[in-house]
Amino acid sequence: MSEEYFKHKFVKPNAIEFREYQLSLSKDAKNQNSLVVLPTGLGKTTVALQVIVDYLEQGKGGVLFLAPTRVLVNQHFEFLKENLLLDDIGIITGEDLLSKRKKLWVNSIICATPEVARNDLQRNIVPTEQFSLVIFDEAHRAVGNYAYTAIASHFQENVRFLGMTATLPSEKKKAEEIVKSLRIQSILQKTDESHDVKPYIQETKTEWVYVDLPLEMKAIQTCLRLALDERYTQMKKNGLQLTKNNKSLSALLRIRTYVLTQNRRSAKPLFTAIRITYALNILEAHGVTSFLNFCDRTQKKKGVGVKELFEIDPNFTRAIHLAKVAQSNGIEHSKILKLQEILATVKGKVLIFTSYRDSVKVINERLVGMGIKSEFLIGKAGESGLKQEKQIQTIQRFHDGETKALVATRVGEEGLDISEVNLVIFYDNVPSSIRFIQRKGRTGRKNAGRLIVLIAKDTIDEVYYWIGKRKIESAKAMGSILSKKLEKNSTSEESLDEFF
């Protein structure tokens, strides 16, 4: 590999390694609104930097660099400050008071969270005319009511947009919505198989490790499934036909509107079935404590059918009783024991992902109890959340090797430079190609990586395994599908709105 460096009058000498694929992507991104799709760890931020300095050199105007979390915004800010020969680089997040933000918006480059940028644009605190380039990191979020879509609508056609993501969604509708929201004209995609990327890719070995639920958890699982079957029977009697393939949480959530407007007799069993399914999924994937915590919160919220479920239903009340007994006997989940077994053989740092906050804390406590130096990383929301400063400190300790294991929720998936780790463990599987690829991308950056996915047999983990595999294949093909559509659109007279 070349030892050359990227040269530019605004970039510090010998700071940015020269990579042909990064230069190629940045050159293409300068010409039209582009969506850069580049695997995690290959330098999307460096591509953005190369586009930024070109715009600044031409004196086209300021740059707005957006990222979905405060910690990620801070990371981009530090990267730019470290590598650019510029003094007027600012950072704006929701932690800054309005009076302070008014002064910060004057910088040439501004790194900001989307919510605060959207709000200040709506307040007319910052004129859109001061920007010539807007960068949307983690651009796959630009769907629905997310702030990216509102921000994009504020800017005129003459402002260049650059979206960046590790992967496109597997769902065609979502992918098209991103393209439309950010007025994307070109998909610039590199994969692990691209010839100019391959020299920088380290192999990541994926292992699917299966565990059996203990008998105590299987008994709880059986009770919950019986309670769920009873609700499906009630809905069927009310004329609501649900096939075997439709007995999933997503299927139940999809029919809520129909039931409330067309089949109100099924409302009570439907909403009860949704709660039971949530509880069952949490038990199967995360364990006894997470299940009991979910039940406590659900009971306090009350709602349709809650009292009957928690006080009368024999199967559900027995499930809670059995879970409390299991918890008092120290039973949590077979995955915890498997984690202990794996970590005993690993010398380096380990990053453990789980989707559920209760699960994060259970895993961390168990690892600390085993004598393993472990910390957890979660977002700032809620009473138990970690503030930005605390998140940065936690990541730094892991980066410096003071912590061996870091247990993280989704906040650790998106873009954060959590340091090189040779082992990533998925405590739970995710039915999302984007999240799977982001999680996996935390390893195999500088050296060969290892990914272990824990799967509990005969549970939601196995269902998500197959959904995930299918979605990853669909996501791989999405770039070429969108490119063909954009190419077709550019040769016709119809607008992008008409096209989609």
126: tokens are: 């910052």
Q: Is the pLDDT of residue 439 over 70?
A: no
DSSP 25-44: HHHHHTTS-EEEE--TTS-H
Given 299, 328, 357, the domain boundary residue is: 328
Kindly give the residue spans of alpha helices, DSSP state H, lying in 20-171. 20-29, 44-57, 70-83, 98-104, 114-122, 147-154
17-43 residue pLDDT tens: 999 999 999 999 988 999 999 988 788
481 in any annotated domain:
no
Average pLDDT over the chain, rounded to an integer: 86
Q: Is the pLDDT of residue 412 over 70?
A: no
324 and 337 co-located in one domain = no
Beta strands in 355-472 (DSSP E): 374-377, 405-408, 423-426, 449-456
193 and 246 co-located in one domain = no
The CATH number covering residue 342 comes to: 3.40.50.300
102-155 residue pLDDT tens: 888 988 999 999 999 999 999 998 888 889 999 999 999 999 999 999 999 999
CA distances (Å), 167 to each of 26, 50, 78, 396, 473, in order?
17, 21, 24, 27, 11
What does R_g of the chain's alpha carbons equal in angstroms? 25
pLDDT at 197: 87
Query: What is the mean predicted confidence (pLDDT) over 481-485?
Result: 81
Higher-pLDDT residue of 215, 429: 215
Q: Which of 438, 409, 408, 439 lies closest to 424, judged by CA?
A: 439
107 and 185 co-located in one domain = yes
12 in any annotated domain:
no
Query: What is the mean predicted confidence (pLDDT) over 217-226?
Result: 97
Given 307, 328, 349, the domain boundary residue is: 328
491 in any annotated domain:
no
**What helix, strand, coil percent values describe the chain, rounded to 5?**
50, 15, 35
Angle CA 255–260–262, to nearest 5: 85
Q: 245 falls in which pLDDT band (50, 70, 90)?
A: low
223 and 180 co-located in one domain = no
97 in any annotated domain:
yes
From the DSSP assignment, how many helices (H) and strands (E) are in the chain?
Answer: 20, 13
The CATH number covering residue 271 comes to: 1.20.1320.20
231 in any annotated domain:
yes
How far is 73 from 91, CA to CA, in rounded Å?
8
Residue 133: enclosing H or E segment and its boundaries? strand 131-137
Q: Are 84 and 8 in contact (CB under 8 A)?
A: no
Given 303, 328, 353, the domain boundary residue is: 328
30 and 118 co-located in one domain = yes
Q: 495 falls in which pLDDT band (50, 70, 90)?
A: very low
188 and 287 co-located in one domain = no
93 and 58 co-located in one domain = yes
How far is 393 from 410, CA to CA, in rounded Å?
18
Within 8 A by CB and 6+ apart from 467, the residues are 431
365 and 293 co-located in one domain = no
492 in any annotated domain:
no
483 in any annotated domain:
no
Query: What is the mean predicted confidence (pLDDT) over 457-486?
Result: 81
Q: 299 falls in which pLDDT band (50, 70, 90)?
A: very high
318 and 449 co-located in one domain = no
The number of domains in the chain is: 3
How far is 463 from 54, CA to CA, in rounded Å?
47
33 and 141 co-located in one domain = yes
39 in any annotated domain:
yes
Domain encompassing residue 266: 215-328
54-112 residue pLDDT tens: 999 988 889 999 999 888 898 899 999 999 999 899 999 877 788 888 888 988 999 99
249 and 393 co-located in one domain = no
133 and 240 co-located in one domain = no
pLDDT at 409: 84
